[in-house]
Structures are given as structure tokens and as C-alpha cells.
Structure 1
Amino acid sequence: MNIFADFENRVKSAVEAILATRENSGLDLSRITVEPPRDASHGDLATNAAMVLAKPLQAKPRELAEAIAEALRADTDVETVEIAGPGFINLRLKPAFWTEHLADLLRQGSDYGRGASTGRKINVEYVSANPTGPMHVGHCRGAVVGDSIANILGFAGNAVTKEYYVNDAGEQVTVLARSAYLRYREAMGETIGEIPAGLYPGDYLKPVGHALAFRYGDTLMQADEAEWLPPVRDFAIEAMMMMIRDDLARLGITHEVFFSERVLHGNGGGRIAAAIDDLRARGFVYNGTLPPPKGQLPEDWEDREQVLLRSTDVGDDMDRPLVKSDGRFTYFAADVAYFRDKFERGFDEMVYVLGADHGGYVKRLEAVAKAVSGGRATLDVVLCQLVKLFRDGEPVRMSKRSGDFVTLAEVVEEVGRDPVRFMMLFRKSDAPLDFDFAKVTEQSKDNPVFYVQYAHARAAAVKRQAVEAGLELPQPGSLDDAALDGLTDVGELALIRKLAEFPRLIQAAAESKEPHRLAFYLYDLASAFHGQYNRGKDLPDLRFVNPDNPIMTAARLGLVEAVAVVIRSGLTLIGAAAPEEMR
């Protein structure tokens, strides 16, 4: 149960009762919120109801707050209601409410915080790296962010499809083919010398060259480019995609759909043409010219008549070319057809996880969504900033294998999957991230992933300690409310309150597409748990395991299990393990 949503409804019911006496029953209550107060000493919940309703009701905020507070004081779960500042209302709930909530959490187990089915189909497209080489650390952040967003959206009750868009139709794959062909000639014994400018120099293409030599022998050596280019391109793309899938597997990432851009261009670009024709029929496509944009000219700008999308009608800064003057489709035209394909597959929402260098694409993609779907589907773009690698504060040098960047595989091999996945989320995705190899592997509070995983391992150790003391572990959901009533210590109740934030956190992270919220929450929960554990070192009566008091121990073991359940769920959504022991 999301207690914040629950109490939001209770506050709205109290407000509606007050409005009924004032003949204002039609007032919009959507801006009313119930949240944790910024300062925990102020109470358990805070609502802005009086603040947002005072103006439309032409009432003084504190007077309105007092009326709402009086109604809330009648709630049997509410211990105190106080008015703060200009009219905020702070509520403190009875301890019994919190222990009842803990019992409910234990009954739900791993389903705690899971949203009911929304019936909404969401496509999350992420990574989508060009199939021209191994994934680098920049791709790594987008991969983790996208995968975690998809996991959280699914846990929140949505039907989610994880998709990878394979950019296999542009000039870059032709360059890949020429680079692979050069390595093929090298594998056949030819001295190729220095890799020419414009080709991919990394050693990762050497195995591709050997594989081409094994398959084709010397048959491609004397062939014209027009003859060898298509098979070498197909072979190299498949080899790169196998490499990319392997790299993603190191992070525990799999996609349900790999969508090939070449499908859109097949049959003379039939799908792209169909998308353009559909938009033309609805008045979104016209033939015209574009004025030169200010600053640097984009690659697709031409000073002549072109086929244009009337994207300014749906929120874009300028209309966008779809067909060049020579009849070729623009890259943007493929974007339009790709969104249309997703929409026709029945998705209600499309999430694109892109690098920060794609910030200029946001408005045009949002315009595409409005034009193609007529407003029936939404589109969210999540931008991921750069990752800088350090070792003990010093920048990490580039990789020999890739030629000019550090590969994802190298990072994961050195520090492990869990630190990579957790730390890629321990900062908002649109902010630059510094990743220090030394810091993410140290065993201290300053290493967030260790601190959170250690909390789960510590919970498991507490349960083992109870068994070793001859105590029987309570079965999940077996503790009734009465057995938990003994949890009255301020630290114990604070832990339950922190646990109760999890369902709200999941909903907020899903709606905002901000998985870093989950990483931050897990760190705060781990900190609260470690703090309560350490209090027991100084105050034996607060220890989780006390063989002389099995009833109290059972209740506290229930609290420990609840912490473990939530940390385990959160780490699973992030894609990290929840260890029972730490080395």
C-alpha cells in the first residue's frame, strides 16, 4: 500500500466534506499532495492542501488549514495534526499504524511496492549503439539507465518491451565493411600498413577479418567493391551485434526486440514512404524551402525545395526535411517511420534513452509523436551525460583494443557488474558522472553499492545469528499486528517509515523516468538500518536478537526481513545482486 496516496485520498475526503458546507464541491483538488516532511521532526506526513486551495476559495491559508486539520484529527490512525508556517499541515501517525503497515509489507513480500496493472504498453529503447564496434563506457551509462527504467516501469504495473534500434542502414556500416575488408586482407597475409584515416582502427576487427578469411577464402581478394561490399557488410554487422550482445550480457541486460533500420529502407524505403504519405494526407507534409537556421547549418539543410514535415504545428522549433532534393530520405524520415512502426505495434508510450549529444533531437521527436499518433501516444526522451573514468583520481587512458575509448567489457571485468550498474545510477542521468575504479571497489560507507549490499548481507547475518541462538525464524507473513506492537523504539519506527516510502518511490521513479531515485533511496534505507544495528551495540535492549526475549526478537526479525525484502527488490530493479554474505 502506498500510504501517501492513501492519505492523499483521506485529505481530499476531508476537504470535500468542508467544501460541501461552502457550496464549492466542484473545486479542482488535483494539486493536493501528501509527502514526507523535509524535516522528520515535523511529523510523518505533510500536505499542502490549505496552501493550494486558499486562493480559489478566497480564504486565509491558516484558517483553512485549521478546518482541514480538525477533520483529520478525527482519523483513527492519526495521533497529532499540526499547522506549520503559512498553512502546511503536518501529521503524525500512531505507532500501531506503522506496525500494521509492517505486517502488510511482510505479507506481500517481494510484491511490496508493485503496482497494479495499468494496461499501458510502454516501449523503452536504449543503447542502440551503432554496430561498428564494442560498446564503450558512454554506452554503459545509457544501457544501465534504460534497463533500470524498463524494470521500474514494469514493477509499477506497465507492460514493458525493451528494444534496441540497430542503425545498420547508414554510411557508418559501409565504413565498417571497408574496415573489416582491410582486416580480411591482413588475415590473408597482405601487409596493410597503417589504417587509413576514416576507417575503424581498433584491434577488435582482426577476428572479423580472420572469420571472413575462413568463410570466403581468397574469393574476395580480387573482387570489385560492389561485389564484396554487401556480404562483408552483412557479416561485419552480425559480428558486431554478437559482440554488443555479449557486452550487454556482462551487465545482465537483454532486449526483447532488436529492430533493424534496414527494414525501414527495404523495398525502396516502402515503410518510410508510407509514413510520409500518411502524414501528408493529414496535412503534416508539404513541399517547401527552409530558411537557413542561425549558427552552424545542420547536415540536412538545403537551399532548395524539399519534402518537409510541418513539425512547428506540433511544438518543434522548425519544420524538418523528410526527403532531400535528390529524392533520398533523410535520417529523420527513418525516425518518423520507426515511431510509426512502434505506434502501430500498439505502444501507448515510447521512451528513448539517448546520449546528451542528442539533446537537439528532443523537440523534433516529441513533434513526431504528436503528428504520427494524433496525441494518442506519448514520448519521453531521457538524456545521459558523459562518464569520466578515473583511477585514484587520475584520468584513465584509452583502450588499446578499441583504439580510442575504454570499452564496457574492460570496466565490468575490472570492478564487476554490480558496482557498474549501481554507480551509473548514483547520479541523475542528465548530470556528468565521475567513475573512479578505486572508490567503487572499496569496502566503506563512501562506496554506496557496498554499503547497500552490506545491509542486505547484514540482515541475512542477523537471521543466521538467531538460528545459531536456537530461535525459530518467523515465516513470511506469519507475524500478526499484535506481535509487532512491541516495535516502539524511535529508530525502529523510523525504519518502518523509511520502508513505507518504497511504493511511493517506485511510482515517482516510474513517472519521472529517474532510476537514480531508487539508488538514493536504497542508500538512505541502508544507512537507517546500519544505524539501528549500531545502536544495539551500545544499548543491548535494542539488539535485533535477544535469546532471553523471543517475542521481541521475533518482531525485530520481522523488521529485519522487511528491510531485506525492500533492499532485495530495489537491487533487483537496478540489476545488482543482493548477497547473503560479503567477502
Structure 2
Amino acid sequence: MSIIGEFEQQVRTAVTAALSDLGAADLQFVIELSSVEGVDLSVPCFPMSKAMRKAPAMIAEDMASRIQPSGLIAGVSAMNGYLNFVMDSKPMVAGVLNDIIERGSDYGSMPSSGLRVNVEHTSTNPTGPIHVGRARNPIIGDTLARCLRKCGHDVTTEYYVNDVGKQVVILTWGVMNVSDEVADAEREEHAKAAGHEKERDKTDHRLVAKYRVANRRMESEPEVQREIADMLRRFEDGDEEVIGNVRRTAESMLDGLRETLEAINVTLDRYTWESQFITDGTARDVVEQLKGSEYAGQTDDGAWFVDLKDFGIQGKNTKFTFTRSDGTTLYTTRDLAYHLDKFTRSDRVIDVLGEDQKLGSKQLCSALEILGKETMPEPLFYSFVSLPEGKMSTRKGVVVYLDDLIDEAVAHAYDEIKARSVTRGNDMSEERMMEIARIVGIGAIRYNIVRVQPEKQFVFKWSEALNFDGNSGPYLQYVHARACSMLRKAGEFKHVTDPDMLDDGFEVNLVKVLSRYEEILRQAGEDKKVHLLPAYGHDVAVAFNQFYASVSVLDSGPRRDARLTLVECARTVMADVLGCLGMGAPEEM
């Protein structure tokens, strides 16, 4: 057990004894990391108030009077309804640093749980490039998966490919009927409207031009509308030719989407195709099961639905339709089959979803309950990213693509790195500057998007994302590079974790911040609070800079090795935080 784990255990034992002394031995309580300066762990007494018939402040004071500092507990106090604990700094410093030295990049990781966790994310329709509005999904999903792996779970990331709906059929019709010349003219016009010299020569960007042309023709030409409707019906009937054409089109589009995702350090373990649940019959099995439930009914035109008013869904949304009037299945039906499939290979299923899917997710869970499932998928909802100019639409061509955002971020990072290199007289090569610019630019995007709580509205601003100071990705990367530079200059040194050599307040504070890493990972992963990870990374960077500014490291005499040990440990944790955020950890900037 880590030194922090031992401290928490001693706090738990002390609180349990105090509650027993107060006649409340069976009362449950929680121990939290404290945000109060000078306090390490806290026990909120508010949940105990009703059972103990006392004000939270009085409960905290009564318990504080019954707990004497001992072992790792250096101080106990009551404040505003919280019972606060301070850890003895000396064993804390030695314990944390020894733990980091021994475990290296595994510091903060938890033992294997044996739990299989499925994280479905991205799953954008394969009808065009990923735009900035949807950029939150893969970044949140990938960060969550990384944190869950650090929590000891066997994690599979998954992309659900919508190769059945009307939009992908329109795209397929466009690929088969819109000439390259017409598509190139469309791309040129689109680039001009967006203020670009030319459209990007990338598979998904080439195909989306055909989608836009096909969509306009469908809206204006009845014959095209009939052809697309016929393709859709044939697909639903299992026509192998149509299904094959659509699958090939979607796969081509996915090649471009994967390239974009890989550029922001996102890879997925598995791709599951929606059409699978038509061809293997499982969507039809779901239909038959739902038809046999007591909640099933039919509309006048023959469509089947289940009534969900008994499941907390109100108003016009109580009818969850699972077949059309002609008996064909809907996306909702296939989504049920998909989730039933996921639960056969996962113990915990997490869906990263846009905020517009809240009702659909609730209806899905209600239908799963009707089908007899006890375990439900866990949705992680996020608000869409917008730009100061407003919302975006792929169909109307009013978008900013993630590819463009990546290029802009890298270009801005390059300008900043080049300016700093000139100012400092560094002789960094052009190739090296571009390499670092890509690491910093991608890191800026990922950090800026994940630092905001997913459910909060988010307007992407260049000035915030690409800021090299303050709460930003480049700031954390720069502090990591500073630590690397110090270690390079130091050369060889021996590890010293003697707390008497690290007794400055800023040194102790930095170690305290490092000690919180496992708990932050636990909250970011288990509780799906990924925004806590960049906040923690910023805390580490700030604490490191305060330490760096307050004491000499390289010229500190007998304390030199101990301080270099602290620098190395801080660098280890910063590098791992950057890794969990899907960001590179440059050693020079």
C-alpha cells in the first residue's frame, strides 16, 4: 500500500472510532481530497446530520475533539462542517518519492481489476470529415479510456459505424453518380467560400464534395430522390449489392476519418458496423422480443412501438418506435441489438454521446429494461464545440474541419517555438522545430477541449488553446521540458528521499500535489470526470514552478541530489499526465 493509502486508512480508522464513541458506529462516511490549503483529507459531515440530529459543524467539532494526532495523522481540525486531516510531511515526502522512483511511469496505476470496460466514442456518421463541433467526442472518449486503463481495467474502445442510414446512402449514390469533375468544381467552390486557396486532397474531403452535390440533387430532382429511396429499401431488405456498395463507400470515408483521429493521437480498438445487425438477424430478434412485451403496440399505419410512460418518459416521447409501417427496422432497433452485443463482451459499457442524445439514451435504457437487462450503459454527455462565428452544419457546408484546426494549431505552435528559439539563441533545426510544433499544437487542442467539463457549453478560441502560459497544454509541456533541461544539465546524481533535505514549504507542497495522482486518476476514470486530469496537470506544473523559483537546485550543495530527485519525480508524473491526456511530452521547447 502506498503512503497515501496508509494515511487514508488511518483516517478511516480514527473516524470510525470517533463515530462509535458518539453512538453512531454504523454510520457511513466518505473521505475526500481537500482543496483547502494546508489540509490533505476531509470528511464532510453534512450527510451525517439527519441521522445524528446535529448540525454538521457540531458533528465535525465533536469528532475532532475525540481524535488525537498519531501515526501519519499530524493534525485534526473542524471547519464549516468538515473534519480535516493533515498528514505528517516527513513520512509523506519519503514515501511518495520512493514510490515514484520504484514504480516510474506505473506510479498512480491501480492493480488489475479483471473488469472489461467498453468505451464507445466518436462514431461520427461516415458522410464527411470530422468537424470541430464533434471534436470533443474522440478526445473525451480517448482520454477516459486511458484513465480507465490506469485504473486497472481491460478497456476496449469502439466506433459504431452508421452504414445504414439515409445519409450514407446519399453519399453512396453520390460516389456512384457524381463525376470527379463535378466534385472537383464543388470542392473548389467550397474552398473559395471558406477562404481557402484549395480544398484538402484527402479521401474524406474528396468524398464529402460528392455528398453535398448528391444532397442538393436529391432535394431538387424527384428522380434522384426515387433512386435513393429505392437504394434505402433494398438495403433494408438485405440486398447484397447495395449493402456492399454502401460498405465500400463507408470504408473509404473511414480511411480519411482514421487519418484525422491518428493525427490527434486517437486510435480505436474495434469498429462495429450497424449493417451487421440486419444481416445477422439480431435486429429482427429484438423486434420479435419487443412485440411480445406487455408494452408493445401498433400505430394505425402498422408501425410497432413500446409505450415507455411507466419508465419515467413523458409527453409525446413515450412511444418508442422500433419498426416502420412496412416492418423494416430503425436505427433505434439496431442500437438495441448493438448494446445487447456489447454486454456479451463487456462488464461495463460507456457511451460518449452528444447532448442531443439524452432522450434517445433514456429511451434505449427503458427498452433494454423491457428486454430484461439489469445492467445499463453509462452515458457520458458532452455539449458540442462551437466557434465564435456560431454553429456548424456538414450538410450546408458551413463547417470548420478538425483537419483545419490541427493545421492551424501546429502552424501557431511553430511560430511560437521559432520566436523563442531566436530569442534564446538556440540552434534548433527546422525539422526539430516542426516536430515539436506538431506535438505542442496537437497537445493544445486536446488539453483545451478536455479541460472544460463535458456538459458545459464550449466555444473554441484560438487565444486560449494556443496560449503558452496559464491553464493550457503548452504550459504543462513547457514545464515538463524545463524539468528535462534541469536533469540534462545536472548529469549523474543519486536518489535521495531524506525529508530533512526537502523541508522547504514549496518542496513539501510539490510532493503533496504528486501524492494525489492516483486519486485523480480514479475520479477521472471511475467517475468519468476527465476534466479533473488537465486541472491536476496544471496544479503539478504550478507547484513545480513555485519550487523552481523559490530554491536553487543545481547549486544547492548537500541538498542538490535530493532536489534533483524531486525534479525527476515531478517530471515522471508530468510525463504520465501528458500521456493520459494523449499529449506528447517534449524534452525541449
Task: Name the TM-score class by shorter chain.
Answer: 0.7 to 0.9
- 2:534 pairs, out of 491, 501, 519, with 519
> Cα RMSD over matched residues?
3.5
Structure 1 residues 531 and 352, CA, compared in 2 at 3 Å: closer, same or farther? same
Aligned to 1:272: 283
In structure 2, the partner of 1:32 is: 30
Aligned to 2:153, which of 152, 158, 168? Answer: 158
CA contact (8 A) 2:204 2:257 kept: no
Alignment partners' CA distance in 2, 1:6 and 1:367: 43
> Structure 1: how far apart are the matches of 2:334 and 2:123?
14
Task: Answer yes or no: is 1:451 the counterpart of 2:481.
Answer: no
Q: Identify which of 573, 576, 581 aligns with 1:566.
A: 573
**Are residue 460 (structure 1) and residue 484 (structure 2) matched?**
yes
The within-5 A match list for 1:6-405 is: 6-18=6-18, 20=20, 24-25=24-25, 27-29=26-28, 31-36=29-34, 38-41=35-38, 43-48=39-44, 50-58=45-53, 64-66=59-61, 68-70=63-65, 72-85=67-80, 87-99=81-93, 100-184=95-179, 186=181, 232-266=245-279, 270-279=281-290, 283=293, 286-289=295-298, 306-317=303-314, 318-345=318-345, 347-372=346-371, 374-375=373-374, 377-389=375-387, 395=389, 403-405=397-399
- Counterparts of 1:329 and 1:562, CA distance in 2: 56
Match of 1:408 in 2: 402
**Paired residue for 1:429?**
454
- 434-443 or 73-82, larger mean C-alpha shift: 434-443
> Using the alignment, how far apart are the partners of 2:586 and 2:187 within structure 1?
50
Secondary structure, aligned partner of 2:350:
strand
Change (3 A) 1:277 1:118: farther
Give the SS at the match of 2:450: coil
User: How big is the shift at 1:175?
Assistant: 0.4
Shift of 1:210: 13
Question: Given the superposition, is the C-alpha separation of residues 188 and 426 from structure 1 closer, same or farther in structure 2, using an over 3 Å criterion?
Answer: closer
C-alpha distance 154-370 of structure 1, shift in aligned 2 (>3 A): farther
506, 512, 518: which one aligns with 1:503: 518
How big is the shift at 1:65? 3.7
State the distance in 1 between where 2:11 and 2:486 align: 39
User: What CA distance in whole angstroms lies between the structure 2 residues aligned with 1:351 and 1:513?
Assistant: 9
Task: Quickly say closer, same or farther: Cα 1:256–1:460, change in 2 above 3 A.
Answer: same
1:543 to 2:552 alignment: yes
Larger deviation: 272-281 or 348-357? 272-281
SS at match of 2:489: helix
Q: Which amino acid aligns with 1:239?
A: S
Tell me if the contact between 1:180 and 1:236 (Cα under 8 Å) persists in the aligned partners. yes
**2:583 counterpart letter in structure 1:** A
How many residue pairs get matched? 519
Query: 1: CA distance between counterparts of 2:133 and 2:547?
Result: 38
Structure 1 residues 368 and 321: alpha-carbon distance in aligned structure 2, compared to 1, 3 A threshold = same
Q: What secondary structure sits across from 2:572 in the alignment?
A: helix
Name the SS for the 1:134 alignment partner: coil
Between the aligned partners of 2:518 and 2:169, the Cα distance in structure 1 is: 48
Q: Say which SS state the counterpart of residue 40 (structure 1) adopts.
A: coil
Structure 2 equivalent of residue 419 of structure 1: 444
For 1:279 and 1:82, the matched residues in 2 are separated by: 58
Contact 1:7 1:34 in 2 (8 A): no
Shift of 1:432: 2.3
Kindly state the Cα deviation for residue 143 of structure 1 after the two structures are TM-superposed. 0.8
Aligned partner of residue 157 in structure 2, secondary structure: strand
**C-alpha spacing 1:314/1:11, structure 2 compared with 1 (3 Å):** farther
Letter in 2 for 1:571: L
**How much has 1:523 moved relative to structure 2?**
1.1
User: Gaps (5+ residues) in structure 2?
Assistant: 191-198, 211-226, 232-240, 410-440
CA shift, 1:456, in A, is 0.5
Structure 2 equivalent of residue 221 of structure 1? none
User: Cα distance, 1:3 vs. partner?
Assistant: 6.5
Identical columns (%): 28
> Which AA in structure 1 matches 2:322?
L
The alignment's TM-score, normalised by the length of structure 2, stands at 0.79
Q: Report deviation, 1:187.
A: 7.5
CA distance in 1, matches of 2:186, 2:450: 46
- Partners of 1:581 and 1:465 in 2: CA distance: 13
Shift of 1:369: 4.5
User: Within 2, Cα distance between the matches of 1:530 and 1:502?
Assistant: 18
Query: Secondary structure, in 3 states, of the residue corresponding to 2:254?
Result: helix
Give CA deviations for 1:148-194 in whole Å, capped at 9, x if unaligned: 11111111111111000000011111100122123337489999999
Distance 1:437 1:63, change over 3 A: closer
Moved more, 133-142 or 57-66: 57-66
Q: What is the aligned partner in structure 1 of residue 465 from structure 2?
A: 440
CA contact (8 A) 2:444 2:465 kept: yes
Q: Secondary structure at the match of 1:359?
A: helix
**2:120·2:157 contact (CA, 8 Å) conserved in 1?**
yes
Structure 1 counterpart of 2:419:
none
**Could you say if the C-alpha distance between residues 60 and 435 of structure 1 is closer, same or farther in structure 2, counting changes exceeding 3 Å?**
closer
CA distance change for structure 1 residues 397 and 264 in 2, over 3 Å: closer, same or farther? closer
Conservation of the 8 A alpha-carbon contact between 1:463 and 1:473? no
Q: Judging by fraction of residues, say which structure has more helix.
A: 2
Q: Shift of the alpha carbon at 1:466?
A: 1.4
Kindly provide the amino acid, as one letter, of the partner of residue 573 in structure 2: V
How far, CA to CA, are the matches of 1:191 and 1:411 in structure 2?
Answer: 22
Partner residue, 2:493: 473
Contact 1:187 1:209 in 2 (8 A): no
Structure 1 residues 194 and 52, CA, compared in 2 at 3 Å: closer, same or farther?
A: closer
> Aligned partners of 1:123 and 1:534: how far apart in 2?
44
Q: Structure 2 CA distance, aligned partners of 1:164 and 1:286?
A: 31
